[in-house]
Amino acid sequence: MESSVITQVQKEDVQVSPKTGQVSRSALKQPRSCNIFKALFCCLKAQDDPKPPTPPPSHQALLESQENGMVVKQSEFSLLPEIEAQDQGKLCVVIDLDETLVHSSFKPISNADFIVPVEIEGTTHQVYVMKRPYVDEFLQRMGELFECVLFTASLAKYADPVTDLLDQCGVFRTRLFRESCVFHQGCYVKDLSRLGRDLNKTLILDNSPASYIFHPNNAVPVVSWFDDMDDAELLNLLPVFEELSQAEDVYTQLDLLRGH
Ligand SMILES: [Mg+2]
């Protein structure tokens, strides 16, 4: 496997408890050493931490969450604009970028799909990006079924140009980056309650359980992807999302899919 700043993230085996819906994970690989480039991408603390995610915080804790060092009130605004006419009646799906749809590295990858220049501390670096197998087919169908939102804890200066190249059909109605996350207990959390959408009509697809620790019952877990070109997770998830797209209530439908 390519050695890169981003592959320092250890692979995770994500599991959802059939009783509680809580997500757990087990480390398959130890993280490698850190360097400054890690700051460009997602917070790795939760993935470095062998303990399972803590329970969702209390309402008061949510109110006291910090964003970029500033205390923010969670109900002051919505992250998403008004729903567009073509998406009326559709569920909203929040989709992660790194290790869910793509894998990126500062180390040259001979078969990279994209090479994106990113400026860090005054120096331009090349980021090599590989697309997860079936990502094009996946995004095209997801765009037909859902209101799709890209939500990444990575910085916009990296994730925005990558998404420009990845999403040439404009599947993502909105892109949300690190500044839209809530910084909670050392991690960037994607707080679905801030989207401005009904929570029972909102899903999140993410390889990192820490990202949806506030709303584990809205999550469709996906195994982290790095370089396995035989991976078919996205293809296999399409029938799941086809079913979910018809749901009146995602909690009920996810319970059914989990075999409850
Ligand atoms: Mg990710």
> Global pTM?
0.76
Ligand 1: centre distance to CA 141 (Å): 20
Ion ligand 1: residue ranges with CB closer than 5 A: 96, 98-100, 207-208
Ligand 1: centre distance to CA 65 (Å): 21
User: In total, how many domains does the chain have?
Assistant: 1
Supply the range of the domain harboring residue 156: 12-70+87-102+132-257
Ligand 1: centre distance to CA 77 (Å): 25
Let me know if residue 195 belongs to a domain.
yes
Let me know if residue 4 belongs to a domain.
no
Domain harbouring 198, CATH code: 3.40.50.1000
Ligand 1: centre distance to CA 54 (Å): 19
Provide the residue-wise pLDDT of the chain in tens; the chain has 260 residues: 333 323 223 333 333 333 443 333 332 233 333 344 556 665 434 343 334 444 444 433 433 444 444 544 545 689 999 999 999 999 999 999 999 999 999 999 999 999 999 998 899 999 999 999 999 999 999 999 999 999 999 999 999 999 999 999 999 999 999 999 999 999 999 999 999 999 999 999 999 999 999 999 999 999 999 999 999 999 999 999 999 999 999 999 999 988 87
Report the catalytic residues.
Answer: 96, 98
Q: What is the 3-state secondary structure (H, E, C) of the chain?
A: CCCCCCCCCCCEEEEECCCCCCEEEEECCCCCCCCHHHHHCCCCHHHHCCCCCCCCCCHHHHHCCEECCEECCCCCCCCCCCCCHHHCCCCEEEECCECCCEEEECCCCCCCCEEEEEEECCEEEEEEEEECCCHHHHHHHHHHHCEEEEECCCCHHHHHHHHHHHCCCCCEEEEECHHHCEEECCEEECCHHHCCCCHHHEEEEECCHHHHCCCHHHEEECCCCCCCCCCCHHHHHHHHHHHHCCCCCHHHHHHHHCCC
The pLDDT, as a whole number, for residue 43 is: 40
Ligand 1: centre distance to CA 100 (Å): 5
Let me know if residue 200 belongs to a domain.
yes
